[in-house]
A and B are shown apart, each in its own frame.
Chain A
Amino acid sequence: MNRLRLSTGGLIDRSRPLSFTFDGRKMQGFAGDTLASALLANGQRLVGRSFKYHRPRGILTAGAAEPNALVTIGRDGRTEPNTRATVQELYDGLVARSQNRWPSLDFDIGAVNGMLSPFLGAGFYYKTFMWPADFWEKVYEPVIRKAAGLGRATREADPDGYEKCWAHCDLLIIGAGPAGLAAALTAGRAGLRVILADEGALPGGSLLSETATIGDRPAPQLAADIAAELHSLPNVRVLVRTTVFGWYDGNVFGAVERVQKHVAELRAGAPVERLWRIAATQAILATGSEERPIVFGGNDIPGVMTAGAMRTYLNRHAVAPGKSVAVFTTNDSGYRLAADLEAAGVGVAAIIDSRREGSPVGGGSARVIKGGLVRDAKGGKALAGVTIAVDGSNETLDVDALAMSGGFSPVIHLACHRGGRPIWSDAHGAFLAPQDTEGLTLAGSAAGVGSLSACLADGAGHAARLAGLLGRAAQPAVFGPVAGEGTGDAGKPLWSVPGIRGKAFVDFQNDVGLKDLKLAVREGYGHVELAKRYTTNGMATDQGKLSNINAIGLLAEARGVSPAEVGTTTFRPFYTPVSFGALTGASHGKHFQPVRKSPLHDWAAKHGATFVETGLWYRSAWFPRAGEKTWRESVDREVRNVRLNAGLCDVSMLGKIEIHGRDAAEFLNRVYANAFLKLPLGRARYGLMLREDGMIYDDGTTSRLGEGHFFMTTTTAYAAGVMNHLEFCAQALWPDLDVRLASVTDQWAQMAIAGPKARTILQAIVDEDISGEAFPFLAAREVSLFGGALRGRLFRISFSGELAYEIAVPAGFGESVADALMEAGEAHGICAYGIEALGVLRIEKGHVTHNEINGTVVPADLGFGKMVSPTKADFIGKAMVHREGLTAPDRLRLVGVKPLDPAATFRTGAHILAKGTEATLENDQGYVSSSAFSPHVGSTIGLALVRNGPERHGEEIVVWNGLMGETTPAVLCDPVFVDPANEKLHA
């Protein structure tokens, strides 16, 4: 262990040493360390390289705003680039690697960029790399891309799990620092349902780094005591390692809990991260404040860090920042660090206070340089000294660590996520939260409150007030007098130090410096948003948590206006970056979307079906048999067999809707374009449903099973949409109609039995007479099956053009009924057929599906013009279907197409060109909407939507598929390739 680790003190457990590696070097830390504190304790100051100039960088902060100390941790599918060492808890076996350097962290070729910096200023790339034009993709961009970026992401899948949940509470408290803890205790004691969330591993926030005492208790002890009481309250949930990352509408907050990011061995069955969606009646934002760096030369050299960070490493992690420390401050907080350093035995070379008057707070025995400014820090990979300007002269101090405090910015990000703009306060020298954050109250230093005692009181006070609002009497929690606290004085902002020689950074990670911001103003990009976009200030992984305020101050100086006039860029989620894993939960891989299976899925599976994804469904596509080498062989056999004998196809996934009510017929008459009012009892009818704009929405059959009882089927794809639409019509348009709707898609197993033997086979299980006379085409009735053992619904409808029926039985009986039909059909040559064969059969018959009903066709386009009732008073789509453009004669209309040479083929999606014309968009005549090899015709056939299609039967055309290099001479024809006289249908 390195001598930088203090022998006593801190919240680390010296009895639990932990081993880890950094760039392959073995190191040791203790339980309670972050990776950053452990690296510091091991004397590892150089941790990363900056984005553009590849400057050596160390550890700047002790929290979520860290711009420099980004490392890659983990291996394989658990690799996590850009992990902030300052928030990553140390665990045994942690593997960390530095990033954005080559060949090594110590010697990085990219650092040469720093020497070219006069030519690589803000926006230089907008002014060059333009010649020759194609060199951008070939030469410049690849080099730039390789040099840019930070860590390298894995290419492997994540082996671990994630989950999501909702939580509801009366009061959400974000941040478990002094204000948050006081608020939680107050509200918890009053009986409110409280959620307290904090990004740290322990509740306490700044109390954990604090040396003040409260009611004679050390600050960390107070935090532990309050946490213990909160844990004892059943109405309080404390979420540690949980970052509330966004404030959304309706007072819903997004939060991510890092459940197992700090452990060596993952607990099986528990997630790595958990996403919380917290619906809070009220919320308190007690997120504290962020200490500002100061813009001086070399402010990025390893060994320079914020004063608060140094205090955390010293007091909480028992790590000395160096042998000799200088403290550069604009406010009182630096003095308390100096006192703590001295108490820990670390030498303090000087406190350099930008204020002439100094501070009332004691900083120990260290020399105080009032009115002094650190002009430049010196060193390469480690700080070697600082040059101080005071009263016009310069002084050099040899120090190996420098703390800086440029004042504090309240952490108001969440309060600005819903459109409110922050407000500049001269008194605070900072931006405060917007005024009207209804449902969200700011407390503690997030609200600009200064001292520890004031923060405790502020948190307790707000919680008591909100409890009252929520109908609970509450007493603000009190904790006794605070001894040894700071003043909370904000100091005066110091945007930059005059006379800087070295590079002075504003955005550390993106290497945006003072000069870049000045250049932006000079070139007209002085608006805060333009400056951000032009210089990239604030666009790094820390989203400007440290840099934005200094950039605003510097822009204000350069433009000669106040920071209020410059304003801020927009605060947006996420407060800190959130993994895809957390946002995804369990919804990935095979579980990306739910699976729907037909009640006949197992039946199909046992007949060897090949399944295919259709929306959420797995549908049986074809049923290969031994010896069949391609899917086409199976499909051709199934098609032939249906036309020759019979087949059974699962059509359970069609949408099915029960429609009841006195006005059900009138209702259907209004939602369909064709007439339904007089549909006789026991009959089915094909229905065409339009949208209000006149385009066809969906089609299907609807059967009248009773005077006020109908049964509708829809296409599979539009089942949910049609149901929503019908409900809209029934509830919002015509609530006066007496009609009730119920989706019964999952309640019925439905199968098509098609082919010349269909009746014979079906009669074996149907008790009633289903002869042609007793059960003609379009008959639809409830029937008795198996001698009265079961009731089902039988429909004589045909998609294939064959003698065909669809039979529906309660879902649980589906497989047994299918088995019985297959058994009954065995002697008649029945086969199972899938949706591929179904598709071939319907194309042969010229029946359309959503291949043709694609949202841009009107009934006349598909030859259904006569179905659109001219006499009905009203139906959906009536008013718009006759517009000029929808009745134009040159619209694309349905036609058949087949190759001149039966051996030739074409594909769906190919376009149609008139014979002898050039392949241009102007000559485009339409396209093939459906195609298949037809065993019946003996060649490929297609349905096509073609200009004037119905008038062009017999015309030779070219089916053009330039995309795949295919051109097929073909002829347009009637779209009905099978039995145009419908004899088989009526057989």
Chain B
Amino acid sequence: MRYSALSILLNGLRGNAGWRPAWRQPQPRPHYDVVIVGGGGHGLATAYYLAKEFGITNVAVLEKNYIGSGNVGRNTTIIRSNYLLPGNNPFYELSMKLWEGLEQDFNFNAMVSQRGVVNLYHSDAQRDAYVRRGNAMRLHGVDAELLDRDAIRAVLPFLDFDNARFPIQGGLIQRRGGTVRHDAVAWGYARGADSRGVDIVQNCEVTGVRQDGNRVTGVETTQGFIGCDRLALAAAGNSSQVAQMAGLRLPVESHVLQAFVSEALKPFIDCVVTFGAGHFYVSQSDKGGLVFGGDIDGYNSYAQRGNLATVEHVAEAGKALIPALSRVRVLRSWGGVMDMSMDGSPIIDRVHRDNLYLNAGWCYGGFKATPASGYCFAHLIAKGEPHETTRQMRLDRFERGYLIDEKGQGAQPNLH
């Protein structure tokens, strides 16, 4: 069923009784060409591109809860491709390009809104770092502009320009960055994959990986054994747990990251703004809530909830940046479990076994990567070799010393 203004009109006139399920609720079959573990954004996108771009449709996506119940449904919805290092930059730009045509591609309005992402700087050193980053972006044809204080003030007059502890000096803006309605991304990919024959199996938790020598033969699940020719893990947040079933240890720790939304307000903040002198970033949803976040809580956790101290730190930074937030009320806080990798960059690689594929280590940057992650992972699974933008995202880079460390913090995940 194709979605359009006309379909809404016709269904509306007929009492909306004609809408059909966006995806089926299939019983898993005994064997698939590809089994993907994780029905989040990355897993669903992988299935979608496997089917659409690489013609592999005998695919199952196994989700232990409901689809989109992980980080695709609990992030702060930001997309951007303002990366510094050549190991990351082309990949995230591919993702941005896929975002730009996504809704027409999968016929689902995910509200991709290129409202601009501003990273503020408050010192000469921060400015220099953004000049370096902005130039790396420009070298790859990614849009970037350096705005001075006056230009920032023109766009964001309500920031604290006159009484700040760390005065704003300017900012790096990527105008093509913005926000996307996060749940809709999972739903759009699910619907697109399902319509091409992919089985999306919810409430199906993987409990073991069956192996025969150098090959994986299938997975044990709460709905029985499911065989496969290729097994793809896309369970960020729980990557270590899933990998462990295949006998693999990862350079990953699971950390909790909190996010917040305020009560709905009339339009206030038009773009995404990132504070440079504290951990705070904010945008406003179409519904009117200010969606914001800060830094990870800093300790290993599989609980999707955080602590009050972090809440306070985020609020402090928020009011320091935008004094008018003082009387705005915060409605809800929640937590997501992040795959924090040891260099802050992701892993997309064939690992450990001949037919085992790993998609992990997204830190808190997984949402914006969803389309490219799905596309490149599908490419790797289908063709057996990495997509050109993910060549450096190998698992053995840690051992060999080819790290992709944007922040230069080294092997301490809670600093990335």
Contact = CB atoms under 8 A, between A and B. Distances in A.
Do chains A and B make direct contact within the complex (CB under 8 angstroms)?
yes
B266 A574 contact: no
A961 B139 CA distance: 9
Interface in B325-340: 325-334
Interface string B179-201: 00101100110000000000000
B108 A246 contact: no
Contact of A593 (B160, B165, B304): B165
Contacts of B134: 909, 963
A962 B138 contact: yes
Contact of B4 (A81, A127, A248, A525): A127
B315 interface: yes
A162 B266 CA distance: 25
Interface in A506-557: 515, 519, 522-525, 527, 529-530, 533-534, 536, 539-541, 543
Output the residue of A593, A856, A911 with the most chain B CB within 10 A: A856
Nearest to B107: A130
A541 B68 CA distance: 23
B194 to A, nearest CB: 9
Interface stretch (A140-148, A317-325, A386-394, A978-986): A140-148
A583 B330 contact: yes
A543 B401 contact: no
B165 A578 contact: no
A137 B115 contact: yes
Contact of A577 (B166, B202, B308, B330): B330
A636 B66 CA distance: 65
B363 interface: no
Interface string A883-916: 1111100000000000000000001111100000
A527 B326 contact: no
A126 interface: yes
Interface in A136-194: 136-137, 141, 144-146, 148-158, 162, 164
Contacts of B21: 522-524
Nearest to A162: B326
Contacts of B220: none
B278 interface: yes
A692 B411 contact: yes
A855 B408 contact: yes
Interface stretch (A85-93, A117-125, A495-503, A650-658): A117-125
A591 interface: yes
A133 B101 contact: yes
Output the residue of B137, B164, B288, B405 with the most chain A CB within 10 A: B288
A541 B264 contact: yes
A509 B161 CA distance: 36
A418 B305 contact: yes
A589 B316 CA distance: 9
B139 A158 contact: no
Contacts of A533: 68, 73, 183
Contact of A880 (B7, B166, B308, B401): B401
A964 to B, nearest CB: 6
A580 B264 contact: no
A577 B16 contact: no
B392 to A, nearest CB: 10
Nearest to A923: B139
A885 B401 contact: yes
Nearest to B13: A118
Contacts of A524: 21-23, 25
A767 to B, nearest CB: 40
Given A529-B66, A911-B135, A130 B324 contact: no
B323 interface: yes
Nearest to A133: B104
Interface string A399-426: 0000000000000000001110000000
Interface in A931-955: none
B326 A580 contact: yes
Contacts of B325: 153, 580
Nearest to B404: A856
Given A515-B16, A692-B411, A963-B145, A150 B265 contact: yes
Interface in B96-113: 100-101, 103-104, 107-113
Interface residues of B, number: 123
Contacts of A417: 305
A588 B324 contact: no
Interface in B8-48: 8-9, 12-13, 15-17, 19-23, 25
A963 B140 contact: no
B307 interface: yes
A418 B304 CA distance: 9
Interface residues of A, number: 119
Contacts of A614: 123
A647 B144 CA distance: 41
Contacts of A590: 163-165
B383 interface: no
Given A133-B103, A883-B401, A125 B264 contact: no
Contacts of A79: 327
A51 interface: yes
B86 interface: yes
B244 interface: no
Interface stretch (B51-59, B124-132, B223-231, B351-359): B124-132
A574 B107 CA distance: 36
B267 A909 contact: no
A573 B332 contact: yes
B131 A909 contact: yes
A125 B109 contact: yes
Contacts of B140: 920-921
Contacts of B103: 130, 133, 136
Contact of B331 (A121, A151, A577, A884): A577
A812 interface: no
A911 B410 contact: no
A919 interface: yes
B327 A149 contact: no
Interface in A232-273: 246, 248-249, 252, 254
Contacts of A585: 312, 316
Contacts of A254: 308, 311
A883 B111 CA distance: 45
B109 A145 contact: no
Contact of B66 (A119, A128, A527): A527
A121 B84 CA distance: 43
A155 B157 contact: yes
Contacts of A964: 131, 146
A417 B304 CA distance: 10
A130 B104 contact: yes
Contact of A125 (B25, B111, B305): B111
B27 to A, nearest CB: 15
Contact of A124 (B8, B128, B167, B334): B8
A381 B128 CA distance: 59
A215 B146 CA distance: 74
A588 B322 CA distance: 10
A805 B412 CA distance: 37
B136 A911 contact: yes
Interface in B293-315: 303-305, 307-308, 311-312, 315
9 contacts: A118-B16, A130-B103, A153-B268, A417-B305, A524-B23, A590-B164, A693-B410, A910-B135, A924-B139
Closest 10 CB pairs of A and B: A855-B408, A909-B131, A149-B288, A883-B401, A885-B401, A158-B326, A577-B329, A583-B315, A524-B21, A157-B323
Given A149-B264, A155-B157, A246-B308, 8 more contacts: A118-B12, A128-B5, A146-B266, A149-B267, A580-B326, A614-B123, A856-B408, A924-B86
Interface of A: 51, 74, 77-82, 118-119, 121, 124-131, 133, 136-137, 141, 144-146, 148-158, 162, 164, 246, 248-249, 252, 254, 275, 277, 417-419, 515, 519, 522-525, 527, 529-530, 533-534, 536, 539-541, 543, 570, 572-574, 577-581, 583-585, 587-593, 595, 612-614, 691-695, 851, 854-856, 880, 883-887, 907-911, 919-921, 923-924, 927, 960-964
